Structure 1
Amino acid sequence: MKLKVDRQADALYLMLSEAPASRSEEVSPGIIVDYDDQDRVVGIEMLYLSRRAPDANIQQLLFETVPEVA
Structure 2
Amino acid sequence: MKLKVDEQADALYLTLGEVPASRSEEVAPGIIVDYDDQDRVVGIEMLYLSKQAPQTDIRRLLFETVPKVP
Q: Which residue number in structure 2 is paired with residue 60 of structure 1?
A: 60
% of aligned pairs identical?
Answer: 80
Matched length? 70
Structure 2 Cα separation of the partners of residues 18 and 39 of structure 1: 15
What is the root-mean-square deviation of aligned Cα atoms in Å? 0.8
TM-score, reference length from structure 1: 0.93
Displacement after TM superposition at 1:68 (Å): 1.6
Matched residue of 1:45: which SS? strand
CA shift digits 1:19-46 (9 cap, x unpaired)? 1100000011110000011111000000
Displacement after TM superposition at 1:69 (Å): 2.0
Structure 1 Cα separation of the partners of residues 57 and 69 of structure 2: 31
Off by >4 Å, runs of 4+ in structure 1: none
CA shift digits 1:1-23 (9 cap, x unpaired)? 00001111111000001111000
* Unmatched 5+ stretches in structure 2: none
* Unmatched 5+ stretches in structure 1: none
- Residue 37 (structure 2) pairs with residue 24 (structure 1): no
